[in-house]
Chain A
Amino acid sequence: MIYTSKLTIKEASKLLAQKKIKAKELTQAFLDRVKKLNKKLNAFITVCEDEALTQAEKIDNIITSNQKINNLAGIPFGAKDLFSTRDIKTTAGSKVLEDYLPVYDATSISKLKERGAIIIGKTNLDAWGHGSSGENSDFGATKNPHDKTRVPGGSSSGSAAAVAAGMALFATGTDTGGSIRLPSAFCNLVGLKPTYGRVSRYGVIAMASSLDSIGHLTKTVYDSALILNTTAGFDPFDQTTSKVKADDYTKEIEKGVKNLKIGLPKEYYKDLEPEIKDLTLNAIKTLEKLGAKVIEITLPHTEYGVAAYYIIQPSEVSSNLARYDGIRFGNSRDSFGAEAKRRIILGTYTLSSGYYDAYYLKAMKVRRLIKEDFDKAFKNVDVLICPTSPSLPFKLGEKISDPLQMYLSDILTVTQNLAGVPSLNVPCGFVNNLPAGMQIVGPHFSEKLLYQAGYAYEQETKWYERKPKLK
């Protein structure tokens, strides 16, 4: 019996390499889990059973013939439905692309496939990545496996629900303003938003091109590092990827946090649900016990983050969504849902003649001030720690009719996208059986350090061992 919700990538790889399980059995176990739970949770838009089992058989043949296998060989994963997958329907969660079959793979997908990872399906999301709850999907809302009356967080809603419920060993995600970290926090998962340009955006349906970061959701910090080892690096198809050499992120992950200087940005500790504040401060105490030093710092322009973000992001959205004209692929523009229309209108307005300087240009100036706050902070500290969400997972329907309230769910996450810095959500406890997460934020290209800090905390607390009670 394979317990899909308990297994990690690290453990599954070991079982495969030692020939204790077959790749086909493993994939079948995850597909069975999807069959059992997807109707309840709506985590997947598309399940690719035949393709997945065929791939798994190929991996088994390699293992049986004693050839060396890659460390992701036979690992079943879910791809957020913004990632182009060759000959597998890619909808972006929107009716506009309900029948779209890409003719190529996103770079991150082809890298994962080269390492032998197996796509078992495409995960649900707020259409085009627009949302913080998963409720903006044109294919129905995803539910939180920890409490089916609550949202899993968005926009990588299906990715989070799939991993949390044991329907995939990991899932890819995109984070433009918190879309990996928020669902990770709401579903007790580790979620990485890498440095802008660390992972290729090629083939991932663009939301806001100067902010989009390509990452993934896993159960553990080690698993997250393992995936980044595959996806990070320069891509000639995405000229905003960096030529800074990618690290080996699993190497020295056990280094610990002795003398690590942690900054607590005071602006991020205001207006929180008290339990969230307590859990985060407890986590910081744990890290202090492990040898870290804690300093209170300030990021003075934090309060302008959401305002700058809700100019820059819709502006870029309106430009990126202009290509959907129903001529080369997909349906006509009438098929856009309400949230996409709202952002297209807002962004078209803020970019239009006479308003560009007052809005977009102004926001890009404020963006510099926000980035400089981070630059200054990282002169004094190694990482920052703050909560990922000001609240616990909220109820389905609670914020859907008030877009501004929904936008404010991202209040603690958008600034990192504006600054381009990496941030790792790590689970930090539960309140009334609902999970909460904290984010560890570092300077550009410091993912290795974030993993070391996250790993040290995780080894002490092991929140990932706590699973949702699903029937």
Chain B
Amino acid sequence: MKKKIHPSSFPPEARLAKGGIPHPSIDINHVAKLANLSLSPAEKQIFAKQLSDILAYVNKLNELNTQNVEPIGQITGLENVTREDKTTPSQTQEEALKNAKRTYKGFFEVDAVIEPQ
């Protein structure tokens, strides 16, 4: 699915390049949907303002030229850690279901996500 980009939420560089005042903002409805969070109108308003302040602060990183810098992978330098493909003792079905609010015949029960035909 192609994502609709809200004009006010272009990456900071884009707006800096245009010479505008860098005042980043988040399309809060879109992001809340991606995060599966339902926010109240009041929360949306407060978060939009607070997150805009935080983004303005973190945009400080654009002062640094990182063109030839490799991003950090694993900080102590571990690479491709593997183990033998052997099963080991694990949780029982009963234990795995113990904290579930709704179960059905040994399964987790969830609301339907597919429309009935």
Contacts and interface: CB of A to CB of B under 8 A. Distances in A.
Contacts of A431: none
Contacts of B51: 342, 345-346, 349
Nearest to B80: A239
Interface in A223-261: 236, 239-240, 242
Interface string A328-349: 1110011010100110111011
Interface in B63-97: 63-64, 66, 69-72, 74-76, 78, 81, 83, 91, 95-96
A106 interface: no
A345 B11 contact: no
A103 B35 contact: no
A338 B75 CA distance: 30
B35 A419 contact: no
Nearest to A359: B58
B94 to A, nearest CB: 9
A419 B50 contact: no
A101 B98 CA distance: 8
Contacts of A334: 38
A361 B72 CA distance: 9
Contacts of B78: 197, 239-240, 242
Contact of A352 (B31, B38, B71): B31
A330 B99 contact: yes
Contact of A420 (B66, B76, B83): B76
Contacts, number: 151
A369 B72 CA distance: 9
Contacts of B5: 354
B18 interface: no
**Size band of the interface chain A makes with B:** 35 or more
A318 interface: yes
A348 B71 contact: no
Contact of A342 (B12, B50, B58, B60): B50
A336 B34 CA distance: 16
B75 A419 contact: yes
Contacts of A470: none
A122 B20 CA distance: 50
B53 to A, nearest CB: 5
Interface string B38-74: 1100010001001101110111111110100111101
Interface SS, A side = helix
Nearest to A366: B61
B37 interface: yes
A404 B74 CA distance: 28
B92 to A, nearest CB: 8
Which applies to chain B's interface (DSSP): helix, strand, loop or mixed? loop
A365 B66 CA distance: 6
B76 A310 contact: no
B105 to A, nearest CB: 16
B15 to A, nearest CB: 11
A310 B31 contact: no
Contacts of A346: 26, 51, 54-55
Contacts of A407: 54
A430 interface: no
Contacts of B62: 362
A386 interface: no
A304 B83 contact: no
Contact of A348 (B34, B59, B100): B34
Interface string A86-108: 00000000000000110110000
A367 B58 CA distance: 13
A354 B4 CA distance: 10
A368 B71 contact: yes
A403 B83 contact: no
Given A326-B101, A329-B99, A368-B69, A352 B64 contact: no
Contacts of B100: 327-329
Nearest to A408: B57
A303 B60 CA distance: 9
Given A328-B108, A358-B12, A369-B66, A336 B37 contact: yes
Contact of B31 (A303, A325, A348, A359): A348
B47 A354 contact: no
A104 B91 contact: yes
Q: Which 7 A-B pairs have the closest CB atoms?
A: A420-B75, A329-B99, A364-B71, A358-B11, A365-B66, A103-B95, A348-B35
Given A308-B61, A420-B76, 15 more contacts: A196-B75, A239-B83, A310-B57, A328-B108, A333-B37, A341-B43, A344-B37, A346-B26, A348-B34, A352-B3, A355-B11, A358-B13, A366-B66, A369-B69, A420-B75
28 contacts: A104-B91, A197-B76, A242-B78, A306-B57, A310-B54, A327-B108, A327-B110, A329-B100, A334-B38, A341-B37, A342-B47, A342-B51, A345-B28, A345-B31, A346-B51, A346-B55, A349-B51, A358-B13, A362-B61, A363-B58, A364-B71, A366-B61, A366-B64, A366-B66, A366-B69, A368-B70, A369-B66, A404-B50
